[in-house]
Amino acid sequence: MERLATAAFDYKPLDAEREIRLLHVQTLAVGAADSENSDGQLITSTLFHVSLDSCPPYMALSYVWGDAKTRLPISVNDSVVSITQNLHQALSSLRISEAGTGEGVLTLWVDALCINQSNDAEKAAQVQLMRRIYREATRVLIWLGPENRESTAAIHQLRDIGSRFQNLKQSPMYGLGIPSFLQDIAARPGPELRSVWHLFRGRPYWRRVWVIQEAVLARHATVWCGRCSIDWNILLQALRALYLAQSLRRAEAAGTAALLIIADVNQDIAHFRVCAEKFRESGGQGMGLMEMLWWTLKADIQATDPRDRVYGLLGLVKEGDRSRIPVDYSAATTLDNVLFTVTRALLQKHGPEILCYCTPSLLSRSLPSWVVDWTAQKKVRLWTTRIGGAWTGYRAFAASKESRWDGSTISSVSLEEPALRLTGVAVDTVSKTGSQFNTSPQAPDYLQACRSWFLEVEQLVRDAVLDPVVRKDRLANLWRLPIADKKLDGGRAELDDLGPHHYRLLIGTISHETLPTKQEGGKMKKENEWVLKETYEYRRRWYLYERRPFVTGDGRPGLGLADTRPGDRICVLEGASVPFVLRPNGKGEFRLVGEAYVYGLMDGEAIECDASLHSILLV
């Protein structure tokens, strides 16, 4: 958790197992707030201890701390304590908005004040109680910050969309009414939806790790932006409607301003919506740790203490997984310790499929290459592997056939002795690598860049494969490479997939033979726009960014992470559904580079051809 440097406030010790502190905040009547300068009045509050087993009704505040350097005073138990400006704004506004018409007391749980932030042991104990604290609050007050014209417009729009969608779902005409309702959303003018975009993109709240569990755990919650509010469940309904509008209209409305804005909003906020749905489906038991980490992996989540990238999610994790990750804020438990513990726990439960999430990290070089850095900002990995309840239970690939990994040796692995012994087969070697594809779809030369990249990969295959029959097969299936042979839902691409047509369209539409003259520039622009729209569904499935194409010694085309180099080995590990790129260190050991798609090795071919598995040591 973040540290708040309050004035020297005398905190009395808590009973670590069940006690919390609550804050009584003196409220202001609406009339008094309007007639006086309420912002200039010192906020007066009282801090007191209660047992969670028998505590009075209270509301829990969910907010972003904000800049620790900008601070304002409040009174706590007759002592002046400095708090961040954002918290001060929240308390100032809520003591009016939640007060009704008469003066009284607002009973709150506020982490910055109710936890002694200078006591690491207390912080660790309170984190363990966070699930109960937010679950048992009568209401969670979600504070986004002060209002402005755009935020007010956004909340009005979200309230309208969410309420209409909720009413529509309860109507017997739901099936008939939903298409026109979603079309209405996608047809809204860009400027209208842009206010919604700013509410999520421009507010730091949505990027703080702790607020995910705070919002999801709430039995009832209200989102406040200044004095404008929306019920949390109505907001979730609006987000669900925006997601469906994007899903149903993306093909015919590809590239429209409304769709692009909706797509951005969905990408930023998907983890809130999905985690709320999954937690509800679990009956409040929680999600698996892997499932929780996966759904928050691509979100731009931030934490002052990087250990909170894990600790801040544990309140939504089921007990069996949560108990494997001890919360410890002492200096002895570094981020390396936390990530190592998490990866080892996930390996014990799920096997080497976890290694799909390994990417180059900026962490200490002493950390083993097989440890996943969950703090790194990255896009979803090549495989949305079917682990835990977040998926349907099937895997698109079976590189290791039906083999299962024996995880009995993982318990002996430690940071001091980090070598991870796996079983598998080193089946091939990276011979040549191609260029990364980094051109944005908005770039004027985007289509030319697509064609150039495809031609480069084709040339890699032509140079590597001498047998004309094999070469023809490999070239005919190159359309599978950009999409890693997968459908959008994670399943395997099918024979009737439009991928081959879209691939040929992208590589052939702007061939040298059909390049228009300068006089035909307008025609070329229209043709390019048509190609972009026609191939939209294919390009949406691409996994090219942050990856590098390669060809193996046996002429197999593949797609690996950007750090893939000639000389790296292609290995299939027992119990894993996909191959991995490993780098020999000259000592009989390997460092993990990352997952890979390799044509001809995704369905157990390596195991069938070489049934003798060998010990592979990852460091």
pLDDT band per the 50, 70, 90 thresholds, residue 492: confident
At 582-607, the pLDDT tens digits run: 999 999 999 999 999 999 999 999 98
User: What confidence score (pLDDT) does residue 516 get?
Assistant: 45
Percentage above 90 pLDDT, the chain: 59
Q: Assess contact for 464 and 470: CB atoms under 8 A.
A: no
At 298-309, the pLDDT tens digits run: 777 889 899 999
> Which DSSP helix (H) or strand (E) runs through 474?
helix 468-476
For the entire predicted model, the pTM comes to: 0.85
The backbone torsions φ and ψ at residue 393, rounded to the nearest 5 degrees and listed phi first, read 100, -10
User: What confidence score (pLDDT) does residue 155 get?
Assistant: 97
Mean pLDDT of the chain: 86
pLDDT value at 378 more than 90 = no
Instruction: Give the count of beta carbons closer than 10 Å to the beta carbon of residue 100.
Output: 11
User: What confidence score (pLDDT) does residue 8 get?
Assistant: 64
User: What confidence score (pLDDT) does residue 549 get?
Assistant: 98
pLDDT value at 70 more than 70 = yes
Find the radius of gyration of the CA atoms of the chain: 27
User: What confidence score (pLDDT) does residue 64 get?
Assistant: 94
Q: Which amino acid is at 437?
A: F
Higher pLDDT, 99 or 194: 194
C-alpha span between 410 and 421 (Å, rounded): 8
Q: By C-alpha distance, which of 145, 141, 146 is closest to 62?
A: 141
User: What confidence score (pLDDT) does residue 489 get?
Assistant: 75
pLDDT band per the 50, 70, 90 thresholds, residue 174: confident
**Crossing angle of helices 499-508/521-534, nearest 10°?**
160
Task: For residues 497-513, give the mean pLDDT.
Answer: 76
- 266's CB contacts (< 8 A; 6+ apart) are 239, 242, 243, 246
pLDDT value at 405 more than 80 = no
Q: By C-alpha distance, which of 145, 256, 155 is closest to 196?
A: 155
C-alpha span between 42 and 37 (Å, rounded): 11
Least confident segment among 265-279, 299-313, 352-366: 352-366
pLDDT value at 511 more than 80 = no
pLDDT value at 5 more than 70 = no
Pairing of strands 59-62, 44-51: unpaired
Task: For residues 96-104, give the mean pLDDT.
Answer: 62
Instruction: Give the count of beta carbons closer than 10 Å to the beta carbon of residue 380.
Output: 12
Hey, CA dihedral for 435, 438, 442, 443, is it positive or negative?
A: negative
C-alpha span between 552 and 463 (Å, rounded): 11
CA atoms within 13 A on the CB side of 27: 18
Higher pLDDT, 422 or 31: 422
User: What confidence score (pLDDT) does residue 31 get?
Assistant: 52
Pairing of strands 557-561, 590-598: antiparallel
Q: What is the 3-state secondary structure (H, E, C) of 450-464?
A: HHHHHHHHHHHHHHH
Q: What distances in angstroms separate CA 567 from CA 586, 587, 600, one per listed residue?
A: 12, 15, 19
pLDDT band per the 50, 70, 90 thresholds, residue 422: very high
Residues in the chain: 619
C-alpha span between 381 and 358 (Å, rounded): 9
pLDDT value at 393 more than 70 = no
User: What confidence score (pLDDT) does residue 525 get?
Assistant: 75
* Domain ranges within the chain, ordered by starting residue: 19-137, 446-544
Task: For residues 229-242, give the mean pLDDT.
Answer: 94
pLDDT value at 493 more than 50 = yes
Higher pLDDT, 256 or 288: 288
SS3 for 428? strand
pLDDT band per the 50, 70, 90 thresholds, residue 381: very low
At 290-347, the pLDDT tens digits run: 989 988 887 778 898 999 999 999 999 999 999 999 999 999 999 999 999 999 999 9
> Which DSSP helix (H) or strand (E) runs through 192?
helix 190-201
Task: For residues 92-98, give the mean pLDDT.
Answer: 85
C-alpha span between 538 and 522 (Å, rounded): 25
pLDDT value at 220 more than 90 = yes
User: What confidence score (pLDDT) does residue 574 get?
Assistant: 92
